[in-house]
Every structure is written in structure tokens, then in C-alpha cells.
Amino acid sequence: MNLSPGNPLLRLPSLLLAMLSLSIGWGIRGNFGHEFGAMMPGMLCAVAVALFSERQDWRERVPFFAFFGAIGWAFGGSMSYMPAISYTHSGHLPTQIYGIFAVFAIGFLWASLGGAGTAYAAIEDRERMTALFRPVICVFAVWALDYFFMDDVARWYVTQRQAAGFDAVWGRQRNPFYWLDSDWLAVLEALFALCLFDLWERRFEKIHLLAGFGALGALAGGLVHNGLAAAGWLAPMLSLIVHPQGDLTAIDRVTGKPFDPALLMSNWPQVFYDLSNHMGWILGLATGIALYFVRYGKFRSGASLPLHMAVGGLLTFLAGPVLLSNMFQGIGGFRMVPPRGDNWAIVLGVLLGLARYMRRNNLKPVVDVALLSGLIGGVGFQIAQTLKILLYMPGNPALTSDPATVQAWAHWHSANWHSIMAEQGVGLFYGLAIVLPMSMLARRIPVRVSEPRVRRWTEAVAVFFILNVLLYVNLVKNVSDWTAERTGGFRSVTLMMKAPLMSFWQMSALAWFNLIFALIAACTVTLLLAHMRRPLAVIPGDWLGKGQLFYLLFLWAIVIGNFEKALVSFHEQRLATEGTIFVNALVVTVLILLCARPASPPVMANEDCRRPRMRRWIWGLAAASLVCAAVYLTVTRVVYGDTPDGFGGRNRRFGAEADWRVKPILRDRAHR
């Protein structure tokens, strides 16, 4: 079956492979979470699209499809989306209306950057794309230092202040760098790495001017700060941009008193308050350095792309949740799901920065794919949420008090509906959000014939990143599940283990895991280097075979790793997650091996018809979003009225019971 003659990506096997690839990865992402988890489905779907496009030039770029497809989906992993889903179940009409459109916005942001990453791998000139690896590796190196050491630095800082300690989950608001539960520090680290790379690229020319700009900026900032303080203007100015994250008139249900302002979080990080006497010259120094790079920075070798994205993310975050929130304090600020995180603003800024770069560098098709992917992803997320509430209705205790009916449907309701619809279900729609726009792109971009394989080492870096780095940052999370203490003090894996035959050598389970993974990484590097010099017989000679091997190695590594994570506390509800994932993995294994066809020249579409078709898609998807919202609200209001539907929490965005009013983030309690 082919929905469009001459377009292999619209054949039924192609659509199924892309949709199931993202569904499998999305279900696994639900168990691992965040940015690292979201990269797994992005990799699988991007490789599936490249292989089933039947374009030889795309197949030769399989490592890049995997690399950029994974990175594109990573950004959305930083967003908090469960409160938005819970809004739709609340029974509170304003919150429900807001929630269904917040669900669309989250789906749009997530899928748009996933589509952009996949399209970039297909469109960009190889010379520029491979040049991008050097600045990206610099950014990753700085982020690696953060990954391994930043918590230790923050704990040292807290110890020096003699303040309450923190942890990475339930006490993270006590981290001095906590800022609206966002990744602002990662953005600054990326900017630092890119500026350092630019200095290196220019061999530190005009470095004396950098020192001068910085010194003058620091001097000016200090003078302005001291002048405002002396004139008595500093405090009134700060009151315009600083406010607590909560309602000071609301009653704390734990103490029965109004919330203590000292315990409420602010719209600025604690470290800024600790350094308040120095913020003038610090901000002046940062401004001076920024002006230097605006004036003299070149940001060659592809560094301009991540620079656009990082600057866009930082500016949007500052303009939105941080500053505009002062104008919307009555509704919890200019925040999507207060009091939860505001990385949505950083992701939106990254998307805007990426779009600006693509337009300036004649890569507008990437923006088109991002827009269509986002719209399909947003509508898909809405549809999945609508289907979930429809499927949850039979025998719902919120609708019937008949014990026999409730009991008859009890097993149905015990299913892991969040995984079925909000993860694996929405993953199917996200896969569609990639394959449909990419099918349009496949008939628009001319085939590259005999493209020179410049910087072959970047292919090896991409493969190493996927098979070693991406697997490690996800699978290392299994160790905490294996060693967690369970009922009766039982642990599936002991915390400390001695080396075989050597009683004097003892390491933690995490250390043993790291050692084994380091050996795997060393093996991978050795084989990749050897293959670049003399092809290994085990690796197929054609790119279709290479891509199939790459896909299947990663697929089954994450499927098995996911099962290992769940095994220590496996029960029948996990069959909805791990069981379905395993069966779907078997299906895609058959699809990718049996249904792939030899490469063939694509049938090019008429470019004059593209723009009208794009407009029809945009308007059609916008209408679909409104229809989904109307159907969802109509059904839930008719069936449940003003009562919650019984699924999940009872989060509210507006009204006297809004989360940000009655359940704000407090310094002395567990983070939600």
C-alpha cells in the first residue's frame, strides 16, 4: 500500500516503522525520563526514515540522522508535561480549556525540534554539517563536567554557606542554582563553550580587547549598582522585577497560617541573592564580554547554529517566566504549569533561534519541517489525551456507584494508561509527525550524487555517541533501581561488591557498572578506528545494511536495558509497558529487515505546488487542534460536569485552588 505514488515514505511499512520506532522509544523514555530518555526515540525514528526513504544520499547519512535526530528530541525532555495533562482531568472548566491547549503547545515544541533535527541531517551541506561537530563536542565536554561534578560544586557551595543540603530530586529547590526548575545553567555553559571555541578558532586574536571590554563592563556595572544604592533607587527597581512564587494571602494547609515568605521560592536563583552585593560588577562583566563577542566574534565552523539556539533560549526564558511574570502575578505568573519548571520557555527560544539561523542560511525547508512536525505532534498529543479519557470511562467509579460494574471493570482500570496513551500512544503520533513532513522533503531536495565524505571521523563520533554515550547516560539509571532497598531490607544487587579472587578490591555497584561500560567504550573506539582504516567483515558494505545493523543494535540494547530496569519490581501492570514494547520491537525488526527496498531516484514534486500545500496543512492542522479541544471538552463536561474524571492528580491552573496558590514550592518541604 502506498498513499502517494512514487513516495516510499508513504508506504504502509514505512509509516508503521516510523510510528512504532518512536512509540517504542517513547515508552522506554517514560521509564528513563528527561532529555537523555527523549533522545532514544528520536534516534530510532530518524534512522528508520533515512533507510526507508530509498534515497542513497540519505542512507549514507544514517549516523548523522541518528545524531541530530536524537539531539532534536532531547530539548523537549526538559519540559514538565504531567501537570498539563492533569489539568485536563481536573473538572475545572478554565483549567481544562487551558490544559488541552497546553498539551498542544508541549507536543508542538517537542515534535518541532525533533523534526528540525531530522530534517537538518537530510538538508545541510556535508561540509557545514560535519564542521558543526567541533563546536558541539566543545559544548558536550562542558556539559560532561556539569554532569559529573556540578552537584559536588553546589554541595560545596551550600556547605560554605552553612545552608540546608539538597538532593537532585525532592530537595532540588535548595540547590543555589535552582531557577524556576529550568536548565538555565546548561544554556550558560553552552554559551561559555561556544565563546571559548570561537577564541580558539581565532587563535585568541584581540584577547586583550576581551580583557578590556570585561574590565570596563565590570567597572561600569559596579558604579551603576553603587550609584543606584546610594540614591535609594535600587530597592524600588528590584521590587519591579523580583517577586515570590506563590500567594502570600493563601493559607498553608499544613500549618493553618499564611505561607512564610522566607520559605517561598523567588523568580531569581538563590546564588544571585548570595552575591547581591557583587551583582553590579558581575552583570557588568558579563555585558562587557557579550559586547566583545558581538563585535569581534566570528563563530565559524558551524558554531553559529548552537549560538543562535542558546541565545534564543536564554532571552526567551528571561523575557517570559522571569520578567513578564511580574505582570501576571494574579494568575501565577507568565508560566505554563506553575509551580513546576519553565523549560518550555528555553525550548521555545531554542526553536526561534534555530528558525532564525535556518532562514539566514538558506535552510528554510528545515523550518517548514519543524512547523509541520510541531503541528502534527501537538494535535497528536491532544488526540491521545482525548482517547485516554474515552477509554477510561467504562466502569469509572467517578461515573457509577454500582459495585458490580466497578468490579467488572477494575482490571481494565488498573492498566498503566499513562504508558499506553500518554507515552507509547502519543509516540505513534510523534512518529507520524516526523515521517509525513520528511516524506514531503524527500520529493523536494535533489539527490546528492557522489558527495565527498569529508571528515569521516564525524561518522564514527556519531556512532560512538549513540552506542556508548547515549546508552550510558540512560542505562546507568538502572543501578539505583537494582540497589534500592525493598521490603524487608532486600536489595536485588548489593551496594558493595568485591572483585573475583581479590578480597582487598571492593567497589560500589555503580563503580562496577562504570568500569564495565568504560571497557565497552574502549572496545567500540578500537573497532571504529580499525574499521575506518580497513573495513571490518562483520559490517555490511552497503549503507542499507549498515543502517539496519546500527538500528537493531541500539533498539535491542534499549529494549533489554529497559526490561532490566523494570525486572526488579515487575508485576502484571508492567506488561502494558515492557510487554508491548517487546512485541513492537519484534514487529519493527521484521519490518526493517524485510520491507526495506533498494535505493531509487526520488520522483520530484512540483515546487510551485509546495507553498499552497503547506498552507493547507497548516490551516488544516490548526483546525484539527480546535476540533480536538472541542471534542474533549464537550465529552468530559457532558459526562463528568465539574467533577474530576478520576484519573491522576487534581492539578489546577486557575482559581482559589490553583497549584501555585495552595501547593507552592517551599524550601523546607519535598519538591513536587
Type and span of the H or E element at 497 = strand 496-499
Q: What per-residue confidence (pLDDT) applies to 412?
A: 85
Tens-digit pLDDT profile for residues 41-58: 999 999 999 999 999 999
List the grid coordinates of 417. Answer: 494508561
Q: Which residues contact 326 (CB under 8 A, 6 or more apart)?
A: 240, 241, 243, 267, 333
Distance CA 23, CA 42 (A): 10
The DSSP secondary-structure symbol of 287 reads H
What predicted TM-score, i.e. pTM, was given to this entire model? 0.94
Tens-digit pLDDT profile for residues 642-658: 888 888 777 999 999 99
Mean pLDDT, all residues of the chain: 91
Residue 606: pLDDT over 70: no
Residue 632: pLDDT over 90: no
Q: Residue 317's CB: how many other CB atoms inside 10 A?
A: 26
Q: Which residues contact 166 (CB under 8 A, 6 or more apart)?
A: 154, 155, 158, 172, 173, 174, 175
User: 165-169, 329-333, 600-604: which range is least confident on average?
Assistant: 600-604
Using pLDDT thresholds of 50, 70 and 90, give the confidence band for residue 608: low
Cis bond before residue 535 (omega within 30° of 0): no
Q: What per-residue confidence (pLDDT) applies to 80?
A: 86
CA 110 distance to own-chain centroid: 7
Sign, CA dihedral 254-258-263-264, equals positive
Q: What per-residue confidence (pLDDT) applies to 561?
A: 94
Distance CA 225, CA 219 (A): 10
Domain ranges in the chain are 1-124+364-456+572-672
Span 63-70, mean pLDDT?
Answer: 98
Span 270-284, mean pLDDT?
Answer: 94
Tens-digit pLDDT profile for residues 515-524: 999 999 999 9
29 vs 418, which has greater pLDDT? 29
Annotate 570-602 with b (16+ C-beta within 10 A) or e (fewer): eeeebebbbebbbebbeebbebbeeebeebeeb
Instruction: Report strand pairing: 502-508 vs 496-499.
Output: antiparallel
Residue 16: pLDDT over 60: yes
Give the highest mean pLDDT range of 166-170, 311-315, 500-504: 311-315
CA 129 distance to own-chain centroid: 22
Residue 418: pLDDT over 80: no
Cell 535552582 found at = 178
pLDDT more than 70, % of the chain:
98
Span 580-609, mean pLDDT?
Answer: 86
Virtual torsion, Cα 348, 350, 354, 360, nearest 10 deg: 90
Give the highest mean pLDDT range of 82-91, 368-377, 409-418: 368-377
